Structure 1
Amino acid sequence: MIEIQNIAKAFHDKVVLKGISSKFEKGQTNLIIGGSGTGKSVLLKCMIGLVKPDQGHVLYNGRDFYNSDKETQQSIRREMGVLFQGGALFDSKTVEENVRFPLDMLTDQSSEEKRERVAFCLERVGLGAAARRMPSEISGGMKKRVGIARAIVMNPMYLFCDEPNSGLDPLTSVKIDELIKEITEEYEITTVIITHDMNSVMEIGQNIIFLYEGSKLWEGINTDITKTDVPELKEFLFSNKLLREMGRNV
């Protein structure tokens, strides 16, 4: 479980996060939603240690990340897997080499152990036959699946996904959502997803927080979100529905 307590962050005179608190349970897909510039990505960066909050606490199974010694912080980081928005694959490395990279950097496993782990993760995301391909030789959806394989290769307790469906067509987006949810439940990972994709919200939103101008205005599950009486969330939902309808008519 991850718990965030009263997370606040400002850059110079611009307040980005205003005391955000929530709990993210293991085995669930926890979504952070909101429009552009609402603080979603900054909150994610605060959670994974890329940006230090001005106040508040980030607890990993009770361990306070920012009030721990360096050794504990490094231990928590090794328990994280991150799927970056653009995939962040190395163009000069094969699919297999991209997935193996964390093992090369962070473990002393033998070559055979690494090979077996990479093969397992690629098979798990349906890319066993693509191991020797280069990123330029695979589709956008396949790149996201490679990113997922790399994110889980260290057998993480915590999985963070930044806009996993960005740039993907609707059918591929659904498949990526299903894969993330399956992996989360199968391995009981605490998964946190940044998204503005309402299809993702309705299909896999087991726990959702809605940010608006740096504040948390709503928290709940996907079956309750359309019943909200929060005006800003209603507007967000309507705008996304309108965009989807426009997309269907193009």
Structure 2
Amino acid sequence: MIEIKDISKTFGDRQVLAGISGSFKPGDTSLIIGGSGTGKSVLLKCMIGLIKPDSGEVLYDGRNFLTGDLEEQKTIRREMGVLFQGSALFDSKTVLENVRFPLDMLTEQSESEKVDRAKECLRRVGLEGAGDRMPSEISGGMKKRVGIARAIVLNPKYLFCDEPNSGLDPLTSIKIDQLISEITDEYKITTVVITHDMNSMMEIGEKIMFLYKGKKLWEGDSNTITQSDVAELNEFIYANKLLREMEK
């Protein structure tokens, strides 16, 4: 389980996060949603250690990630898998080399063990046989799958996905959502997804946190999100639906 308690962050005179609290359970696909500039990506970066919040706590199964010693922080980081926006693949490495990169950096496994594990993860995301291809030779949807394979190669307890559907067509987006949800359920990972995609909210939102101007205004799931009486959330949903209609 991941718990965040009273997370606040200010850049200059602008408060980006104002006392955000919540919890994320193993086996659930939890979403953090909101428009551009609402603080959701900053919150994610606080959770994974890329940004240090001004105040608050981030607990991984009871371990305080912000105040733990260096060794404990390293241990927690090894338990994380991250799918970055845009996939963030190395252009000079093959698909297989991209997936095995965390193994090269963080483990002392043998060459054959690392190759076997990377191939296993590629099979899991439906890219068996694509290991020798370069990132420039595959589609955007395939790059996302490679990113997911790399994110799970270390058997993480916690999976973070930053806008996994960014730049994808609606059909490919649905497939990526389904893959993330399946992997979360299969391995009982604690998964946190940053998104503004309405399809994701309705299809895989087992828990949804809505941020607006750095504050948490609503929390629920895909069954209750359309019944909210929060005006800002309803406006966000309406704008999302309108955008989808325009894309058709």
> TM-score normalised by the shorter chain: which range applies?
over 0.9
Partner of 2:36: 36
Residues 158-193 of structure 1: CA deviation (Å, up to 9, x unaligned): 000000000000000000000000000000000000
Q: CA deviation at 1:12?
A: 1.0
**How far apart, CA to CA, are the structure 2 residues paired with 1:134 and 1:245?**
35
Partner of 2:101: 101
**Alignment pair present for 1:148 and 2:148:** yes
Gaps of 5+ in 1: none
Q: Give matches, 1:27-66, under 5 Å.
A: 27-66=27-66
Residues 89-115 of structure 1: CA deviation (Å, up to 9, x unaligned): 000000000001000000000001101
**How far apart, CA to CA, are the structure 2 residues paired with 1:53 and 1:212?**
18
SS at match of 1:9: strand
**How far apart, CA to CA, are the structure 1 residues paired with 2:77 and 2:13?**
30
**How far apart, CA to CA, are the structure 1 residues paired with 2:113 and 2:74?**
22
Q: CA deviation at 1:53?
A: 0.5
**How far apart, CA to CA, are the structure 2 residues paired with 1:210 and 1:196?**
10
Partner of 1:117: 117
Aligned length: 248
Gaps of 5+ in 2: none
**Alignment pair present for 1:6 and 2:6:** yes
Q: Please tell me the residue identity of whatever aligns with 1:96.
A: L
Q: Please tell me the residue identity of whatever aligns with 2:144.
A: K
Q: Give matches, 1:178-193, under 5 Å.
A: 178-193=178-193
Q: CA deviation at 1:246?
A: 1.2
Partner of 1:226: 226
Q: Please tell me the residue identity of whatever aligns with 2:6.
A: N
Partner of 1:26: 26
Q: Please tell me the residue identity of whatever aligns with 1:232.
A: E
**How far apart, CA to CA, are the structure 2 residues paired with 1:177 and 1:76?**
25
**How far apart, CA to CA, are the structure 2 residues paired with 1:214 and 1:104?**
37
Q: Give matches, 1:147-186, under 5 Å.
A: 147-186=147-186
Q: What TM-score results when the alignment is normalised by the length of structure 1? A: 0.99
Partner of 2:239: 239
Q: Please tell me the residue identity of whatever aligns with 1:31.
A: L
Q: Give matches, 1:207-218, under 5 Å.
A: 207-218=207-218
**How far apart, CA to CA, are the structure 2 residues paired with 1:188 and 1:18?**
30
SS at match of 1:223: coil
**How far apart, CA to CA, are the structure 2 residues paired with 1:210 and 1:108?**
41
Partner of 2:204: 204
SS at match of 2:122: helix
Partner of 1:91: 91
**How far apart, CA to CA, are the structure 1 residues paired with 2:160 and 2:189?**
10
Q: CA deviation at 1:129?
A: 1.2
Q: CA deviation at 1:73?
A: 0.3
**How far apart, CA to CA, are the structure 2 residues paired with 1:202 and 1:182?**
15
Task: Quote the sequence identity (%).
Answer: 73
Residues 175-234 of structure 1: CA deviation (Å, up to 9, x unaligned): 000000000000000000000000000000000000000000000010000000000001
Partner of 1:195: 195
**How far apart, CA to CA, are the structure 2 residues paired with 1:158 and 1:222?**
21
**How far apart, CA to CA, are the structure 2 residues paired with 1:6 and 1:219?**
15
Q: CA deviation at 1:247?
A: 1.2
**How far apart, CA to CA, are the structure 1 residues paired with 2:85 and 2:110?**
31
